[in-house]
Structure 1
Amino acid sequence: MKLKNQTIDLIALTSSIICAIHCAAIPILLSFSALSSIHFLHNPLIEWSFISLGVILVVVSLWPSYRKIHQRSMPLWLAAIGFVFIGISRLDFSLWWETGNTVFGACLVSYAHYRNWKLLSVKPHLH
């Protein structure tokens, strides 16, 4: 169980980092006219797919780790706050609003998976 959760955390951590890079890089890349053909990457379907994958990975990874192994709620809170930032980024105020909140939220979700992974790596003390 512990090894399975650590593997899921590494996958989730990687996907969250890729999401943050994607969200930060796309506005910059789209600003270059020669790269305007990659506009398909700024697609709501791709964005909602990343968000859905992130939620699934949180449920599959962080929740069982919390309930069965370490009982520390910090990773869950970090992920929840991260998804709040991702959610408010969907409000269409400006490109910088969307990018900043999405990247910050994705980084919080990444950090939640990292913290969970570290908590799973801690060896129990025998008394």
Structure 2
Amino acid sequence: MPEKLLRKLNLDVLGIGASLLCAIHCALLPVLITLLPLLGAHLLENEKLEYGLMACTFVIGCLALFRGYRHQHRQLLPLLLFLAGFAGLLLGHYAMPPLWRPIVITAGALLIIIAHIWNLHKCRH
């Protein structure tokens, strides 16, 4: 992607959107899981969708936060929040018992959103 286009895109806003989409997907899935067979909808429990959302969140987050760090504020806290949040997403998906999954995944997504908001704030000042 050309650097000029990357400057025009607000990657933090895209990252917040991707994280919110992931959090909503993960929070609503346990609630909607009982309705899915009735609706015939299997999109929400698609493993490829899960991988795609996590990959999108990771790529956008890395681009936005590393660019903000390198060109603007030189603060590690947004990067550390992002990494902790992404670790929460991974733990929630692959290492938590079913009862804890929505809580850990939502906490991870919130940390990622906070990292993007912090990065936006620091890049603007």
Q: 1:67 to 1:93 in 2, by over 3 A?
A: closer
| Residue of structure 2 equivalent to 1:9 | 12
CA distance in 2, matches of 1:101, 1:78: 14
Runs (4+) of structure 1 moved beyond 4 Å?
Answer: 33-36
- Displacement of 1:62 in angstroms is 0.3
Letter of the aligned partner of 2:27 in structure 1? A
CA distance in 2, matches of 1:86, 1:9: 18
CA distance in 1, matches of 2:80, 2:10: 21
- Displacement of 1:115 in angstroms is 0.7
Percent identity of paired positions between Structure 1 and Structure 2:
26
CA distance in 2, matches of 1:102, 1:111: 14
CA distance in 2, matches of 1:53, 1:59: 10
| Residue of structure 2 equivalent to 1:68 | 71
Letter of the aligned partner of 1:119 in structure 2? K
Q: What SS does structure 2 have at the residue aligned with 1:39? A: coil
| Residue of structure 2 equivalent to 1:125 | none
- Which 10-residue stretch deviates more, 94-103 or 71-80? 94-103
Letter of the aligned partner of 1:103 in structure 2? T
Of 54, 58, 67, 1:55 maps to: 58
Output the TM-score relative to the length of structure 1: 0.83
Find out whether 1:29 has 2:28 as its counterpart: no
Output the TM-score relative to the length of structure 2: 0.84
Find out whether 1:116 has 2:115 as its counterpart: no
Q: 1:24 to 1:68 in 2, by over 3 A?
A: same
CA distance in 2, matches of 1:21, 1:80: 20
- Any stretches of 5+ residues in structure 2 without a counterpart? none
Of 77, 89, 93, 1:86 maps to: 89
Find out whether 1:42 has 2:28 as its counterpart: no
Quick check: 2:19–2:112 contact (8 Å CA) kept in 1?
yes
| Residue of structure 1 equivalent to 2:106 | 103
